[in-house]
Amino acid sequence: MMDRSTLFFSLAIAATSALVACGGSSDAAAPVSTPPPAGSPAPPPAAPPPPAAPASTETPTLARTTVVSGLQSPWDLAFTPDGVMLFTEKCRGLSARFANGTTVGLFGISGSSLVAPDLFCEGQSGVHGIAVDPDFATGARYIYVFMASNLSTNPRTNRVVRLALSADSMSASARTDIIMNIAYKDVGNGVSGPGAHSGGRLRFGPDRFLYVTTGDNHNASLPQDPTRLGGKVLRVDRNGAAAPGNNAPQGFDPRIFTYGHRNVQGITFRPAGQPNAGQPFTAEHGPNHSDEVTALVAGGNAGWDPQNRPGLTCPSNYCGYAGTPATMPMTDTARFPNALRASWTNNGASQGMGPATFLDGAQWKAWNGRLMVAIMGGRRTVVLQLDAAGAATGDVTADLPATRIRSLVQAPDGNLYVVTDGGEIWRVVPS
Ligand SMILES: [Ca+2]
């Protein structure tokens, strides 16, 4: 029987091999060049890394600059390899910002280069995550957006759409909806109004597959449901097809990588050079306790199941807020003995933890390789030290302003970019 790390490495190797075999599967209609065709020779093995410098024990000093302000509910951002900043606003869509400060609307509301008439904004939902194709620099100029759409009805759904970005990054075209049936809370219930708990983060892993986080919609049966795409982490290729190695249990939708989640809004991958490099870690809000960071393993159950709790009083049969860590746990190891254990629980509190990014590079000094999470309700940003197995062994609060932070991204320039609910994007430079 394989242990977790062996299993994950096996998965990563299988996924990488499969991606090489499946290269060239991009949409033939898109006006962009394609990655190498199937059968292309594999790249030569990388040179061995140089000897590691001694790890710093010094906490970095953070210098913060406001890059953009005045945005309306910004949600996520990403960078193209040539340095264009892409950011989303929940009710407006996707925009590009260039180094000279020019900003153009790429996709979404009227006035965008590509209008999405099906986009709507309701409750917590609208336009959420943005990701850039890992082969963008070599010709697959694709970007991916998570959005609420009314193209499907009864219920409406969240979708992941792929767009082609023009050579000058000034316009988007060739919309292809690659996942169309992510659960959306169409109708309010006794817990909350419509649009609640959509998840919505998009990130490519170092395995070059797209990870999509989804939420439980305040619907009790979704997280453990084998076929509906809510309360899950999905892992797909650029066409939205299930990635190889997802290891979803028998009868599950093969796009499901992990299930039994509540509302994952952070996903990030352990950097090269760290134990279990490439392993995904999620951050999600707890109900009235236990925000959780979880190290994911393919096919794993994260253990959230807010249904069928006879001892609790559950509005609309949703027991998520009705219990305690003992009676309604974020990870129910009594029901699911093999559930993925949390790496960290925000010291047992629920303060709206969501965004997450690993810090990677010597510029982060003692924080190199640590996991940063933003705790929105708690208005703080926490840096976690993890052991080899992924369990937190310490946490410190970063010296950043106390505000609601919606997204954390380490950019190609090695600096941290922060999106706030107050409508700002910050650049944070460590020294
Ligand atoms: Ca859990």
Q: How far is the CA of 221 from the centre of ligand 1 (A)?
A: 15
Phi, psi of 214 (to 5 degrees): -130, 165
The sheet carrying 380-386 orders its strands as: 353-358, 371-375, 380-386, 392-397
CA nearest to 344, candidates 425, 283, 413, 269: 283
Determine contact, residues 281/271, Cβ cutoff 8 Å. Answer: no
Q: How far is the CA of 333 from the centre of ligand 1 (A)?
A: 9
Query: And the tokens for 372?
Result: 């940063």
Q: How far is the CA of 18 from the centre of ligand 1 (A)?
A: 29
Determine contact, residues 164/94, Cβ cutoff 8 Å. Answer: no
- The CA distance from 172 to 30, in Å, is 11
Q: How far is the CA of 78 from the centre of ligand 1 (A)?
A: 27
Task: Output the CA–CA distances (angstroms, integers) from residue 428 to 64, 86, 102, 237, 405, in the order listed.
Answer: 4, 17, 21, 32, 13
CA nearest to 300, candidates 280, 285, 328: 280
Q: How far is the CA of 252 from the centre of ligand 1 (A)?
A: 19
Q: How far is the CA of 262 from the centre of ligand 1 (A)?
A: 8
Amino acid at 335: R
Contacts of 124 (CB under 8 A, 6+ apart): 195, 196, 197, 198
Q: How far is the CA of 174 from the centre of ligand 1 (A)?
A: 37
How many residues are given for the chain?
431
CA nearest to 294, candidates 325, 231, 339, 332: 339
Determine contact, residues 375/404, Cβ cutoff 8 Å. Answer: no
Q: How far is the CA of 125 from the centre of ligand 1 (A)?
A: 22
- The CA distance from 20 to 14, in Å, is 10
Q: How far is the CA of 231 from the centre of ligand 1 (A)?
A: 11
Ordered per-residue pLDDT tens for the chain, 431 residues: 334 443 443 444 344 333 333 333 333 333 344 444 444 445 556 666 666 667 889 999 999 999 999 999 999 999 999 999 999 999 999 999 999 999 999 999 999 999 999 999 999 999 999 999 999 999 999 999 999 999 999 999 999 999 999 999 999 999 999 999 999 999 999 999 999 999 999 999 999 999 999 999 999 999 999 999 999 999 999 999 999 999 999 999 999 999 999 999 999 999 999 999 999 999 999 999 999 999 999 999 999 999 999 999 999 999 999 999 999 999 999 999 999 999 999 999 999 999 999 999 999 999 999 999 999 999 999 999 999 999 999 999 999 999 999 999 999 999 999 999 999 999 999 99
Q: How far is the CA of 330 from the centre of ligand 1 (A)?
A: 5
Contacts of 29 (CB under 8 A, 6+ apart): 174
The sheet carrying 74-79 orders its strands as: 74-79, 85-89, 93-97, 103-108, 114-115
Query: CA triplet 135, 136, 138: central angle to 5 degrees?
Result: 70
Q: How far is the CA of 361 from the centre of ligand 1 (A)?
A: 29
Q: Give the pLDDT confidence score for residue 54 in this predicted structure.
A: 75
Q: How far is the CA of 246 from the centre of ligand 1 (A)?
A: 18
Q: How far is the CA of 122 from the centre of ligand 1 (A)?
A: 27
Which run of H or of E encompasses 378?
A: none
Q: How far is the CA of 207 from the centre of ligand 1 (A)?
A: 24
Amino acid at 87: F
Q: How far is the CA of 359 from the centre of ligand 1 (A)?
A: 23
Q: How far is the CA of 374 from the centre of ligand 1 (A)?
A: 18
Which run of H or of E encompasses 360?
A: none
Q: Give the pLDDT confidence score for residue 303 in this predicted structure.
A: 98
Q: How many CB atoms lie within 10 A of CB 333?
A: 12
- The CA distance from 303 to 421, in Å, is 29
Q: How far is the CA of 261 from the centre of ligand 1 (A)?
A: 6
Strands 292-295, 300-301: parallel, antiparallel or unpaired by DSSP?
unpaired
Q: How far is the CA of 100 from the centre of ligand 1 (A)?
A: 43
Strand partners, 385: 394
Query: CA triplet 310, 313, 315: central angle to 5 degrees?
Result: 115
The count of C-alpha atoms lying within 13 angstroms of the C-alpha of 93, restricted to the half-sphere facing its C-beta, is 24
Q: How far is the CA of 73 from the centre of ligand 1 (A)?
A: 28
Q: How far is the CA of 342 from the centre of ligand 1 (A)?
A: 6
316 by DSSP, 3-state: which? helix
| End-to-end Cα, the chain, rounded Å | 44
Q: Give the pLDDT confidence score for residue 55 in this predicted structure.
A: 82
Q: How far is the CA of 345 from the centre of ligand 1 (A)?
A: 9
Q: How far is the CA of 303 from the centre of ligand 1 (A)?
A: 5
Q: How far is the CA of 328 from the centre of ligand 1 (A)?
A: 11
Determine contact, residues 142/162, Cβ cutoff 8 Å. Answer: yes
Q: Give the pLDDT confidence score for residue 17 in this predicted structure.
A: 37
Q: Give the pLDDT confidence score for residue 124 in this predicted structure.
A: 97
DSSP 215: B
Q: How far is the CA of 302 from the centre of ligand 1 (A)?
A: 4
Q: How far is the CA of 84 from the centre of ligand 1 (A)?
A: 36
Q: How far is the CA of 324 from the centre of ligand 1 (A)?
A: 14
